[in-house]
Amino acid sequence: MKRVAVLVLLIAMVMVVTLSFAQSLTQIKKRGKLIVGTEPTFPPFEFVDEKNQVVGFDIDIANELAKRLGVKLEVVNLPFDSLIPALLQGKIDLI
């Protein structure tokens, strides 16, 4: 009985996450841009280059993701402790 309850709970959780992701993906495509939040002080993952552009491994991945989604990438610089609240409030799409 416990196994069935755990399995049902697990399936429900997966369905909620999947539905949430699908709604977010629809919003991103409708808006035409993927908004990424970052604090660019962690080279080689993300940092500001000599041209004052945010670059790095994470930004390369975000650019590829935006390209595959057919949208533009917008990078938003935020303090580290504001990243998760911004994500939860829907101000950014991913960190």
Whether 24 and 63 have beta carbons less than 8 Å apart is answered as no
Q: What is the pLDDT of residue 75?
A: 97
Q: What is the pLDDT of residue 18?
A: 43
Q: What is the pLDDT of residue 20?
A: 47
Query: H/E element holding 34?
Result: strand 33-38
Per the DSSP assignment, residues forming a β-bridge with 35 are: 74
Q: What is the pLDDT of residue 21?
A: 52
Instruction: State both tokens at 31.
Output: 């808006």
The segments of the chain whose pLDDT lies below 70 read 1, 9-23
Distance CA 26, CA 29 (A): 5
Q: What is the pLDDT of residue 26?
A: 86
Q: What is the pLDDT of residue 5?
A: 76
Tell me the CA distances in angstroms from 82 to 23, 55, 74, one per residue in order: 23, 20, 17
Percent with pLDDT over 90 in the chain: 55
